[in-house]
Every structure is written in C-alpha cells, then in structure tokens.
Structure 1
Amino acid sequence: MVMELRQLRYFVTVAEEASFTRAAAKLHVAQPGISSQIQRLERELGQPLLERSARSVRLTQVGEAVLPHARAALAAEEGARSAVGELTGLLRGRVALGAIPSCAVFDLPGLLAGFHDRHRAVEITLSESRSDVLFAGLRSGELDVAVAAYSGTEPPPGIEARVLADEPLVAAVATTDPLAAFDAVALADLRDRAFITLPPGPGIRSALDEGCAAAGFRPRIAFEASDPAMLAELARRGLGVALLPESAIGERPGELHGLELTRPRLRGCVSLVWRSGGPGGPAARAFLRYAVDTLTPGE
C-alpha cells in the first residue's frame, strides 16, 4: 500500500470543510484532482471514507476512524519540517489558536502580532467558539492553544491552563431596578427573576447553573447571548439580571449596577489552555512559550 501525505491532506480538508468545492478553494487545487486522489486513497484502504451527495459530504464510519490518524500523520510531517527549521534558526509550521468571543482579558491581536514579528514563517489561524468546543478542539488536535473560560479552580480533564483572569461574578441590573438600591444579594433571592446569561457551557453559565443548584433552585433564563457586551446591554434595558464579571460593570459607569453575589459566591476564570503534555508541533510550542511569557510576565 502506497499512501501519500497529499492524499491524507486532501481527505482531512474535505472532512473539515464538508465540501469538495470549499476544500479545493482552501487548498488552491482543482476539485477533480482532489476527488481523484481521495478515490485512490479509498481504493488503497479498500473502504469508502466519505459519503457523497449533491449537497454535502459526510464521513463514513471508516472515515471517522481514519481521520485522527490522518491528522496525526500530517502533524508528524509538520513536526519533522519544523524540527529542521528550528535547528537552522528558522521556525516554520502552523499554529491553530481558538478563543471565546469578545475576549477582553488581554490584547489578543497584539499577542498575535508580536509572535508574528518574531516568527514570520509561521502560519497562525484564529477561530472563535464556546469554551466547550475549544476544549474538544484541543483534545482532538484541531487546536493547539486556546483562550477559554471554566468554572471552579481546576481546568477540565486533559487540559492544562495558565490563569489570565479570575474575578468575582456579579448580578448586573439596570440603575432603575429596585435591586440597584443594594450592594449585595443572596443568589436564592433571585429565584423569581429572569436571568440574562451565556449559552450552556463552561465558564459563566456553568457557574450560574451550579450556584443556583446549590441555592436550591433552577434559574429562569430569559435571554442567552455569546457576547458579554450584549448581556450587559440587555440588563441595562431592564430585561433581567445579567451575570457578568465584576470588571464589566466598571466598563459601563452609570449604566449598570453590580451586586455582589453571596451564598454562594461565584467566580469566573479565563485562562490560556492547551492539551495535557503540550502542543505537538514546534511552532505551537514556541507560541505557547511566548504567550505564557508575554501574558504572565515574571512568573
């Protein structure tokens, strides 16, 4: 069996894009060439890897089993090339970075630009998603490093982290809300209020769900939004109680009133995260070292 890395790269790209047309555009290769090479790969393996239809392309059961091995083979090739590049003083490779939407904990564009200035031969990609999706991407190898949120003091299993921000979560209400006359409120006293929060997942939403469970009730979610700025604006308009990091109140002086949450107290944590053992490629490891040194100087 002669299996070419080109065939594996075509297969992985089609699987990720769920389309031969989008894969061809991404790889800058003619679509018939991609189709032909994947068919050759399927003949060599003796099993179809993709289910083709007029509208979409899906992995077969065999394709799902082959995909992680194909990614590993491509990562090994990249690692070999990058190792040679490191020895010659010219770091090459790719870094796949993920981040939660509207991450205002630090200057992410500045971090990327600083690394690019030092390693111009490295290709960096950035994608935004929920923290649970980012954690899954790290475990599968689709992502090398991410900026994600989680509740509690420990990251999820299989994930290592460097904390960037850890602060109290507060109940944010409009300045005209009756609660604005108080500085603190027990979470149980909010059982009859409408909550404004993030969609289900780690981080703020998980902290809210766990806190309400400990207080003996299930929160009534009126609005969900992935952008904390949207949560703040909905609360400012008097549409409910938003759960936000304490620092978010200071960004809207005179527009929102933040109440300290008691019994239980809730905290939000945003961290630089990567899969246990570290990223696989030299370029990704170099980016992680740079990010840690830049974001947590002196540690």
Structure 2
Amino acid sequence: MELRQLEYFVAVVEAGGFTRAAERVRVAQPGISAQIRKLEREFGQPLLDRSARVVRLTEAGEAVLPHARAALGAVEDARLAVDELVGLVRGHVAVGAVTSHAVDLPSLLAAFHDAHPGVEMTLVEGSSDVLVERLRAGTLDAAIVSLGPNPPADLDTLVVADEAIAAAVGHGHPLAARSSVRLAELGGLPLISLPPGTGIRSHLDAACAAAGFTPAVAFEAGDPVLLAQLAARGLGVAILPDSLARSRPDLHPLAITSPALGGRLAFAWRATGPGSPAGRALLALARRALEVVGG
C-alpha cells in the first residue's frame, strides 16, 4: 500500500469522479484508476462503485475513507513538524523598535538566541508608522511601537508600558518655574516633537485638534533624546515620555494638564501571526516575557 494510492482514493471521493480527481492531483486519469485498482486488490474488496455516472463509495470504501484521511493527515503533520524544525535551525527573524523605549529588548533577543542559536536576527529602528507598515508587508515579524489613539485593527498588540506624556524645557525657560502646563498654553509656544506617524505625536495632534488649535512644531526629530537636547538648549518645549523628561538633569519636566496626555508602548505583530517558524517561536517567547512586564 502506498500513500499516493490513498491520496488518489480520497481525491476521487472528494471530487466525485476520476476526471476531476485527475485534474486535482495533476495525474492522468488512467494512472489514478490503475493505482486505485491496486489498492482494492490489497483490501480484497472494491472501494468504489463505478456503475453509476457519479462514483460512489462501497461499504468497504466507507470504512476505509476515514483511515485514509487520517493517514494523509498524519503525513502532512510530520512534514510540518520537519519544516518547523528546519525553520528553527536555519530561520531568520526581523524585529523593529521605536528609537527610545523602556523594553529590555537586548535581553529578549539574547534569550531567543540561546534557545535557537541557528536563527539569524535583524533589528531595525524606525518610527511607529513605518514599523507598522513593515509588519503589514511581512518584512518584520514583530515590533515595539508607540500606539496612537486608534491602534491598527489588523495587528495584535501586547501593551508593555502605559506612560504619561510630559513637556520639558531648559532650566532658563520661563516655564521652568512651574510644575505643570495646560495644553491650551502650548498653542502659543514653539514645540519640539517627534514627527507625524509616531504615537506621541498622534496623541499630541489629536488633543490639540480637540482643543481647537494646531501645535506650532518648530523642530521635529525621530530620536527623543535629540528632542531633549534641543529643549535643554532653550529652543522650545519638548513633548516627551514622562520618564525621559524626568531622567535628564538638564531638563525641567512639566505635567501636561487639561487634559493630561498619555501614550502606550506595545509589542505588535500581524493578527494572522508571523509567517515563519522562527517568527512564531520569537512571538511565543516574547509574549511569555512581556506579559509579565505589561502586567
């Protein structure tokens, strides 16, 4: 008994005849007929009733069919298992991340490397909107992104940090004597911000639009540290993650009020899941590690 005989038998049953089965498996009809006759001789019983225009199962065929399907399914599962193993030996994963974030990505990638030393890894930095598009295109398996007010519906996300968005100025700035600033007050000031498409900028633009004004962004940069340096030199008010604003001795942080602004950092991947075995293994490891961090 050969697997192809079982495959042809199932194909004839599902297609309802030899001609359509031959087209399905791309084998000449006489070849299919000959192989099924060999299968019937091995069982010692006809499996198909060929007397009508539509091929039907005999009683013996009815008994054999579920076992034939199970055998073919087991072979396919074995092939997938080998593909998964090969993919984890010679695979590749691509991870993206926004420029500044609080996730311990080096430890995560090191743990993945220890578990799967044969997998090549690529790490790229970019703005959240670029990373999201690369996730959609399949050139990234996963990415750490900043979520705007409307998270992408076609991605799955695991929020790993929920942080206030703050303003920050140099110590010589007039606002340095205060601990907070109302959002409306920012409307008349030169701002230093991440570019459009980033999570923090999306929150800022949406809040300002709701308040009836457009923020006057004097400087844009993709690196929050550069924004902090510009603000420290007195070039404007930087809009930053609260932790970064408070961590720099050359800056004076200000809470934004009326309303307060907040952003979320997330580990994101395509809703359909990564396409490669290595990508799926990375996702499984990352979710285990980051679910603890994200709470």
CA distance in 2, matches of 1:231, 1:158: 31
**Following the alignment from structure 1 to structure 2, what is the Cα–Cα distance between the partners of residues 175 and 197?**
18
1:81 and 1:200, CA in 2 relative to 1: closer, same or farther beyond 3 A?
farther
Identify if the C-alpha distance between structure 1 residues 282 and 183 changes in structure 2 by more than 3 Å, giving closer, same or farther. same
Instruction: After TM superposition, give the deviation of residue 85 of structure 1 in Å.
Output: 5.1
Shift of 1:123: 1.5
Residue 106 of structure 1: how far off its partner (Å): 1.9
Paired position in structure 2 for 1:125: 122
Equivalent AA in structure 2 for residue 196 of structure 1: I
CA–CA separation in structure 2 for the residues paired with 1:81 and 1:248: 49
Letter in 1 for 2:262: R
- Give 1:140's match in structure 2, choosing from 122, 137, 141: 137
Alignment equivalent of 1:164, drawn from 141, 148, 160: 160
What letter matches 1:165 in structure 2? A
Partners of 1:236 and 1:94 lie apart in 2 by: 41
Matched, 1:281 2:276: yes
Q: How does 1:235-250 map to 2 (within 5 A)?
A: 235-250=231-246
Shift of 1:191: 1.1
Q: What TM-score, normalized to structure 2?
A: 0.69
Counterparts of residues 1-299 of structure 1 (less than 5 Å):
83-84=81-82, 86=84, 91-101=89-99, 103-152=100-149, 155-253=151-249, 255-297=250-292
Query: Structure 1 residues 185, 195: CA separation in 2 closer, same or farther (over 3 Å shift)?
Result: same
Q: Do the aligned residues in 2 keep the contact of 1:85 with 1:91 (CA within 8 Å)? A: no
Q: Which amino acid aligns with 1:262?
A: T
Q: 1:199 aligns to what SS in structure 2?
A: coil
Aligned-residue offset at 1:144: 0.9
- Deviations for 1:154-205, whole angstroms, at most 9, x for unmatched residues? 5212011011111110111112211112111111111110000011113011
Question: Residue 184 of structure 1 aligns to which amino acid in structure 2?
Answer: S
Shift of 1:237: 0.8
Instruction: Looking at secondary structure, tell me which structure has more helix per residue.
Output: 2
Distance in 2 (alpha carbons) for counterparts of 1:235 and 1:190? 14
**Take 2:126 and 2:246, find their aligned partners in 1: how far apart are those partners?**
25
* Shift in Å, 1:127: 1.4
Give 2:257's aligned amino acid: T
* In structure 1, C-alpha distance between the alignment counterparts of 2:287 and 2:85, rounded to whole Å: 23
The residue identity in structure 1 corresponding to 2:148 is S
Task: Report the Cα distance in structure 2 between the residues aligned to 1:88 and 1:190, rounded to whole angstroms.
Answer: 55
Letter of the aligned partner of 1:116 in structure 2?
Answer: H
**Structure 1: where are the runs of 5+ without partners?**
1-79
Measured in 1, the distance between the counterparts of 2:87 and 2:196 equals 45
CA displacement, residues 120-164 of structure 1 (integer Å, 9 cap, x when unaligned): 121211111111111111111111101111222x52120110111
State percent identity of aligned pairs: 53
Equivalent-residue separation in structure 2 for 1:128 and 1:88 (angstroms): 28
CA distance in 1, matches of 2:108, 2:101: 13
Q: Secondary structure at the match of 1:191?
A: helix
Q: Give the number of the structure whose alpha-carbon radius of gyration is greater.
A: 2
How far does the alpha carbon of each residue in 1:64-85 deviate from its partner, in whole angstroms, 9 at most, with x for none? Answer: xxxxxxxxxxxxxxxx987415
SS of the aligned residue for 1:169 comes to strand
